[in-house]
Structure 1
Amino acid sequence: MKLGLRLPQRLGVDLQHDVVEAARTAEAAGYASVWTYERLLFPQMPAEPYAPPNVPWPESSRQAADPLAVLTAAAVVTEKVRLGTAVLVAALHTPVQLAKALATVDQISGGRVIAGMGTGWSTDELQATGATRADRGRLLDETLDVFDAVWAPDPVNFRGSRVVIRDADVLPKPVSKIPVMLGGGGRNLGRSTSSKALQRIAQHADGWLPVLTTPGPAGAADLRASWDCIRDMASAYGRDASRMELVVVGNVTFTTRPAGHDRSAFVGTLDQILDDARTAADAGADELIVDLNLQDWFTSTRQMLETAVEIREQLVVP
């Protein structure tokens, strides 16, 4: 199992220096990829909590620098690591402009971009861009269709519910077809992820980006069952499921003492975090994204990167 590292985007980050330092450090330490996330805004009185049942939005995460700008900075100071988004919220973007932006970063990086996409969940963010929660699945589907059209040879022709392109050149193109991965999932993955979401992944995606929340064998079994379901559906649609990737997101929160048996995955001491990484490997993950952005006690990006390097050195998984 390979490891990826989320780049620093949060409040207190020196965007001029910390992003490039993190990207260089990740590549030198042996991380296979670097990733960004998307948060458009942070409402004072959000319509939904950050996480159920009533978890407040983290103070340190009240800034999220633009994910594609951060990836571009990482692209120009690295040579090998893949550059991924986990995830971009389709409804917050105009599909053609997003396709063009992703293709541009792909060209700058020499073909290393992974487009991780999702429907989003924040009513406040969706309303800020003129969308609604009811729109989000439809808008993601249309965005995926636009990607296929715009990244194909010119001239491009496309007609959708809000996008019309007639005999147009849309450049630049990606170096090659950008892998598109879809997010989704949570606790009890196989039961909480809707059949529509699973079908979308099976029909359209090059991989899945679930967040692992349940530690231990139960978490591995649950994740594996959902992944098997997705691949079985993909095969039924005539796709080569063996080419799809499972990239698990680990949202790390360190504690000074071992967390109890009722803890969520990637919450606890370093040893517990490493155990959770092995759980992801046991579930068949091809890659694990280590996200240290939620750590309120990190005093600097340098401290965060020292921890990231330690995780990379200690984690030996098949």
Structure 2
Amino acid sequence: MRLGLRLPQRLGVDLQHDVVEAARTAEAAGYASLWTYERLIFPETPAEPYAPPNVPWPETQRQAADPLAVLTAAAVATEQVRLGTSVLIAALHTPVQLAKALATIDQISGGRMIAGLGTGWSSDEFRATGATRADRGRFLDETLDVFDAVWGPDPVNFRSPRVVIDKASVLPKPVAKIPVMLGGGGSAKALQRIAKRADGWLPFLATPGPDGAAQLRASWDRIREMASEYGRDASRMEMVVVGNVTFTDRPPGPDRSPFVGTLDQIMDDIHTAAEAGADELIVDLNLQDWFTSTRQMLETAVEIRERAAAS
């Protein structure tokens, strides 16, 4: 199983220097990919908690630098690692502009872009862009349709409730087809969308240990089974697990959440993801409030990569 690393976007990051340093360090350490996430605004009194039932939004996300700008800097600073978003919220973007931005980064990087998308959950962010929670699934489907159209041959003809393109060139095109991966999967409709439309899945590990591996593998098997029923080549699909790491001073008990605990426990969770059949795992250290510098974060990232390689 490969490892990817989330790039620093959080509060306190020196964007002028830290993004490039992190990208180069991760590639040199053997990470296979670099990823960004999207947080558009940080409401003081959000409509929804960060996680149920009442988990507050992480203060480190008060700043979440633009994910595509960060990936562009990483593209220039690296040669081989893949560059992905985990995830962009489709409803926060105009589909044609998003398709063009992703294709541009793909050209700059020589064909290393991965488009990870999701429906999102924050009513505050939807309102900031003129959308609503009710729009989110429909806008994601429309965005996927626009990608198919504008990344294809010119002239492009496309019509949907929001987008009209009438015999127009839409350039640049991607180097090759950009893999589109989808997050979520908590509902039957979400699983169906992944199976029918996506090149891969970006899930979280719900439970540590063998039970968590079995649950994740069962969902992944179901997605690929449905993909085959749609006439797709399920063997070409990827599962990239997202690991949002939070270190603790003492080992939490058996009811701990995945990727919360000591370094040894985090390594156990990485092995669990591999046992579930993950092709890759994203190590995200952005939530860790006691990383006082990007260099300190990178030292831990390199240690995780070395321990994973040794095992």
TM range (shorter): over 0.9
Query: How far off is 1:211 after superposition?
Result: 1.4
Give the CA RMSD over aligned residues. Answer: 0.9
Say whether 1:145 aligns with 2:145. Answer: yes
Q: 1:251, 1:290 within 8 Å by CA — same for their partners in 2?
A: yes
Shift of 1:317: 7.9
Deviations 1:114-153 (A, max 9, x none): 0000000000000111111111000000000000000001
Task: Report the counterpart of residue 216 of structure 2 in structure 1.
Answer: 223
Cross-structure match for 1:88: 88
Task: Give CA-to-partner distance per residue, 1:178-234, whole Å, 9 cap, x none.
Answer: 00000014xxxxxxx111101100000000000113100111011001001100000
Q: Could you tell me how far apart the structure 1 residues matched to 2:309 and 2:253 are? A: 24
What does residue 161 of structure 1 align with? 161
Partner in structure 2 of residue 46 of structure 1: 46
Matched, 1:206 2:199: yes
**CA distance in structure 2 between the partners assigned to 1:8 and 1:194 by the alignment:** 31
Contact 1:183 1:208 in 2 (8 A): yes
- How many positions carry a matched residue from both structures? 311
**What is the distance in 1 between the residues matched to 2:62 and 2:214?**
34
- What is aligned with 1:256? 249
SS in 1 for 2:64: coil
Gaps of 5+ in 1: 186-192
Question: Quick one: distance in 2 between partners of 1:150 and 1:282?
Answer: 38
- Indicate if the aligned counterparts of 1:278 and 1:317 stay in contact, CA closer than 8 A: no
Q: Runs of 4+ in structure 1 displaced over 4 angstroms?
A: none
CA offsets 1:236-258 (integer angstroms, 9 cap, x no match): 00000000000000000000111
* Distance in 2, Cα, partners of 1:257 & 1:14: 30
Give how far 1:62 is off.
Answer: 1.0
Query: Which position in structure 2 is the counterpart of 1:297?
Result: 290
**Residue 14 (structure 2) aligns with:** 14
Report the AA paired with residue 89 of structure 1.
I
Q: TM-score, normalised by structure 2?
A: 0.99
Distance (Å, rounded) in 1 between the aligned partners of 2:206 and 2:49: 17
C-alpha displacement of 1:316 = 3.5
Gaps of 5+ in 2: none
State how far apart, in whole Å, the 2-side matches of 1:316 and 1:74 are: 23
Paired AA for residue 91 in structure 1: A
- 1:52-85 C-alpha deviation (Å, 9 max, x unpaired): 1111111122110000000000000100000000
Q: TM-score, normalised by structure 1?
A: 0.97
- Rounded to whole Å, the distance in 1 between the matches of 2:6 and 2:175 is 23
Q: Which residue of 2 aligns with 1:32?
A: 32
For 1:273, what is the secondary structure of its paired residue? helix
Q: Is 1:129 equivalent to 2:129 in the alignment? A: yes
- Residues 39, 61 of structure 2: 8 Å contact kept: no
Find 2:235's aligned residue among 235, 238, 242.
242
Post-superposition offset of 1:112: 0.2
The aligned residue for residue 274 of structure 1 is 267
Cα distance per residue 1:69-118 (max 9 Å; x no partner): 00000000100000000000000000000000000000000000000000
Identity %: 84
Report Cα offsets for 1:147-194 as digits up to 9, x if no partner.
Answer: 000000100000111111110000000000000000014xxxxxxx11
Which of the numbers 299, 307, 310 marks the counterpart of 1:306? 299
Distance 1:304 1:221 in 2: 31
Matched, 1:5 2:14: no
CA distance in 2, matches of 1:4, 1:106: 18
- Which SS does the other structure have where 2:134 is aligned? coil
